[in-house]
Structure 1
Amino acid sequence: MADYISRVTLMESVRHVLVNAGPIAHLSSGDVNEPLRGHSMTDRELLVHEAGKGLVLEEGIVALITDSESIESEFGGDSSSNLNFIDLGGNAVLPGFVDCHTHLLWAGDRSNEMRLRQSGMNYQEIAERGGGITKTVEKTRLATSADLMKEGARRVQNALEHGTTSMECKSGYGLSLESELSLLEVIRDLQTQVDIKLHPTWLGAHDFPKNIPRKSYFEELLTDQLPAI
């Protein structure tokens, strides 16, 4: 399904016909202005079409959901220049996931900190040993925009392959005006190269930089970073 998602995004001018779907989790009441919510989300009959149906997508919009036999009868079973025919082979169809909290761009590796936490060490103790956010800030500041772009694209592709189609992306591992702007610019440039919708967020107050008094950094956030953002 990941490959399918990518192709639909890139080829919205082509009609896509999908047949032999497994369960289709549409999560819809039938009115785009009234999505299912609350107690109605517990009713499977409202949430899911059972297996055996197909879909027709036109200009990136689901135009039709009905039984596969009817769709195959109307559209045939072969692709052409303006029709992309896909047999889903019984795979489920889900709405794209929206990831509303990500730290997409950063450099370095802190995987060893998991062992430290499991051994009983708290975050402050790890930070005092040179770990924590400060370590990531140091590595991120040393990374080039090209390196961050490459790693960001890899993470976005991994998210796409697991069903995410929209994600919020924080800065916050630069902390200085120059580094924070650089991270946001990479997110902006990355948007032109990926199929996921990216929503950048400035997180200049993610932590306090080393060797800068906290009051001074607050003033920098308000007088320098925020106006520039």
Structure 2
Amino acid sequence: MSIQCTIVPVTPYQQNCSVIKCQATGKAAIVDPGGDVERILEAVAKMEATVEKIILTHAHMDHCAAADVIRQQLKVPIEGPHKADEFWLEKLPEWCQMSGFPHADAFVPDRWLDDNETVSVGAQTLQVVHCPGHTPGHVVFYYQPQNVAWVGDVIFQGSIGRTDFPKGNHDDLVASIREKLFPLGDDITFIPGHGPTSTFGQERRSNPFVADARYG
């Protein structure tokens, strides 16, 4: 059995929230719920899934502002991101106010995630890859059996994450992509935090920021 994924674009930022369902058990995880709780839960209902946890790639508001609301509503834990993003979660109300985003309270996840750990979704296992650069505590979720990864704002089709936020680092981001993600395999499809999916192979060939030709 495998994983079924539904992408739900949320917030004015059109952030790709994903609902990942283990088809063997019907249990699901919500990845990066940044807002629009009702739309996310509608997708869960259509998938006939039972949410057992929320998992976060990083702590920017458009990826996590609805996480604590859903945690309280469904009484499920939040796992992720890496503890290096704690300062973002502490200042979540300020960032929302500054950006004209709906208010969100600061919160602490039930579990911080480290590189090489795993997250379970029903009977399935996702690998955790710590990929700092966009934020210091950014993680990627990789599901090897189906060659798919949820990469948040590390890499996009034809672009990479911004590094001009507090504690962002361009060199770290490039290293995360080229040394941690690309070695996973060219045939891996990734679901980014915004925009269309792509593959690591496609980005190695054509991404102007991280292509092999630029670093070869």
TM class, shorter-chain normalised?
under 0.3
Q: TM-score, normalised by structure 1?
A: 0.21
Determine which structure has more spread, i.e. the larger CA radius of gyration: 1
Q: TM-score, normalised by structure 2?
A: 0.22
Between Structure 1 and Structure 2, the one with more strand by share is 2
